[in-house]
Amino acid sequence: MQALSSLRENKLRTVLSVIGITVGIAAVMVVGTVSEGVNKYIYAELDTYGLETIWIYRKWDDENPFRTARKGSGIDNDDLNSMRSCCPSVRRVTPVVYADDDSIQMRSKGKFSNVNLEGVGIHYLEINHDRVTTGRDFRKNDIQRRKPVAIIGTRVSDELFGKHTNPLRRVIRWGDIRLTVIGVLEFESRDILTQLGADDYDVNKRVLIPYTLYQQQFGVKDIHTLQAEAISVDKIEDAARELTDLLSRRHNNHYEYVDESMKGWIETAEDILGNISLVGLIAASISLFVGGLGIMNIMGTSVVERTREIGIRKALGAYRRDILAQFLMEATVVSVVGGVLGMVLGILAGYSIGYLSGYELGISWSTAFIAMIISIMVGIASGYIPAHRASKLKPVDALRYE
Amino acid sequence: MIQLCNVFKSYQRGNSRVNVLHDVSLGIESGEFVAIMGPSGSGKSTLLNILGCLDTADSGDYLFNGESVMMANEDELATIRNRSLGFVFQSFNLIPRIDAKRNVELPMVYAGVNQEVRNNRALAALKIVGLEDRAHHIPAHLSGGQQQRVAIARAIVNDPDIIIADEPTGALDSKSSHEIMKIFQQLQAAGKTIVMVTHENEIAKYAQRIINVDDGKIRTS
């Protein structure tokens, strides 16, 4: 009660210190919301590759000059069959064959699209966490019989058939070949990773065909890349080792192999996120610190201004703890009000940033809770020194103060 | 009731120590109305502050109700001020932003009295000083004499033994001054001990006994 009346008495000062805390807490909230939101998006994007996915391909820049001369990718169709039995950490594999050079042009009724053509196996969609929105996945029969069928990305579909046409069972021309569309891939967003420079490959411009058909058309027997899925995230390294060991053995150590997984990307993403959060947190801490200084200054002035009042209260029998409690109460009220306003402001700012950037950022309630605790702690800590000084004043000295 | 024995008090002022009280001994009986007089700088205010437990002596002994308060800590002194002493100051010393009744309630807040009892006792005390109809006025809306009467109500609300008054009429006109002194006489009649500092002979006449302080020493007249 005492605390409230004196805060009301000094409105401007109270408002200023509340603003200090408000800005600090809002900053903490924004940092928390943004980094949590970005985190969520990056993980969602990483998941579009499949977090358990491993890519295996030949190491081309070989240190051994004799091996560099050797032709071929070091992976062939026979390798695929032997993998099923002897790699316990691998759930499934798919071959991926693709052109090294620029994208391939496809057409349909006078319209063109430059696509990323990939010859794939039966588990490709599952391993890549791809889904078909309409149509179906490849069947064993499609692969074995080299059927001229294709599953296409949404951008390819839009460019060749327009947004409002169902592309199923329509025909795409690729040179002399007529490919029948059997499915359309679900749209996948990799905006953040693309912006971070992680990937310049457009997943939505893929045209997937049976790898057997691809090999036939290009007259090759090689498989460029083997894509595999480990049985769990922590078995990725085991799975990669099992596969490369098998390949080396089968090809008499004629080739060296490289294995890649999302692990490196996850670490990179976490590094970036950590840096973003750290910078944000430093900025937020600075503003909270300034807010705390504001409270300290305001409480300090308040103590000086009310020295006489402290003397009166002591003369009337106030204990030190009564004076301490009164001033701490003021600091607490200021910081709680500032904290609540900061939370509201932070939530609004979070929504605005989400709205403006087009990303849906959830409110980080854990950050809100931490911010609230921090604001109360900052308030009490900043109020303590002036309050302590006030409580220590000798009544006779305080009363003499003009 | 009060016994000061060989009390010394000095202050550091700049580089030199100033002896304010020099070997002061003094006794005040229960129910007495005592005026302490003396020129400014004589040490009379310091003497009153020591008697009121607002300040402590450097040496000597102070017996309050037969018990020494020389070794008492901050909180024990606060308890004595709260329960056994009531203060009336020259500049009233009311808290400006709360009304008369809540000012009067303050000593009871620190004594831990509950809200309902506080309310009743505050109104009763305001009635004694004739201000029950001004209970909800803030100090700025009261005259000087009225403010001093609120301060007296505050001083007596915890039913203390002794009222310590430091120039209680110093900021008042003579009509108000005499009203205040009449209230003091009534309080004395009701059994309170009153110790008052004043430099006005007119006011000192209301007291039964006058103690003259000069240059830090008591001169019995």
Distances (CA, A) of A279 to A154, A285, A370, B220: 38, 10, 18, 77
Residue of A1, A316, A326, A401 to mutate, interface with B, max B Cβ within 10 Å: A316
CB contact under 8 A, A9 and B81: no
Give domain limits for chain B.
32-42+75-219
CB contact under 8 A, B49 and A396: yes
Q: Of A6, A309, A317, which is closest to B81 when you measure between CB atoms?
A: A317
Residue of B76, B81, B161 to mutate, interface with A, max A Cβ within 10 Å: B81
pLDDT in tens, B53-97: 999 999 999 999 989 999 999 899 999 999 999 999 999 999 988
CA B119 to chain centre: 23
- A147 found inside a domain: yes
Structurally, chain A folds into a number of domains equal to 2
- A52 found inside a domain: no
pLDDT in tens, A153-166: 999 999 999 888 88
Tell whether A361 and A232 lie within a shared domain: no
Is this complex scored with an ipTM above 0.85? Answer: yes
Contact A139, A127 (CB under 8 A): no
DSSP type of residue B140: G
Tell whether A167 and A288 lie within a shared domain: no
Q: Of A6, A317, A399, which is closest to B107 when you measure between CB atoms?
A: A317
Distances (CA, A) of B19 to A289, A377, B7, B9, B43: 47, 46, 11, 6, 9
Q: Of B82, B97, B111, which is closest to A6 when you measure between CB atoms?
A: B97
CB contact under 8 A, B93 and A322: no
Percentage of chain B lying above the pLDDT 70 cut? 99
CB contact under 8 A, B93 and A308: yes
Q: Which of A255, A282, A306 is the last residue of a domain?
A: A255
Q: Provide the shortest C-alpha distance from residue B54 to chain A (in Å).
A: 5
User: What is the rounded distance in angstroms from the CA atom of residue A254 to the CA atom of residue A320?
Assistant: 85
Q: Which of A255, A279, A303 is the last residue of a domain?
A: A255
Q: Provide the shortest C-alpha distance from residue B27 to chain A (in Å).
A: 22
pLDDT in tens, B145-196: 999 999 999 999 999 999 999 999 999 999 999 999 999 999 999 999 999 9
Domain around A197: 60-255
Tell whether A183 and A86 lie within a shared domain: yes
Which chain A residues are Cβ-neighbours of B158 within 8 angstroms?
317
Please give the structure tokens belonging to residue B144: 């000087």
Tell whether A297 and A231 lie within a shared domain: no
- Domain spanning B32-42+75-219, CATH architecture: 3-Layer(aba) Sandwich (3.40)
Asked if residue A18 has pLDDT above 90, the reply is no
pLDDT in tens, A338-350: 888 988 888 888 8
- A263 found inside a domain: no
Q: Provide the shortest C-alpha distance from residue A395 to chain B (in Å).
A: 6
- A260 found inside a domain: no
Q: Is the pTM of this model over 0.80?
A: no
User: What is the rounded distance in angstroms from the CA atom of residue B167 to the CA atom of residue A386?
Assistant: 32
Which chain A residues are Cβ-neighbours of B115 within 8 angstroms?
none
More confident residue, A72 or B22: B22
CA A377 to chain centre: 31
Q: Of A5, A315, A318, which is closest to B97 when you measure between CB atoms?
A: A5
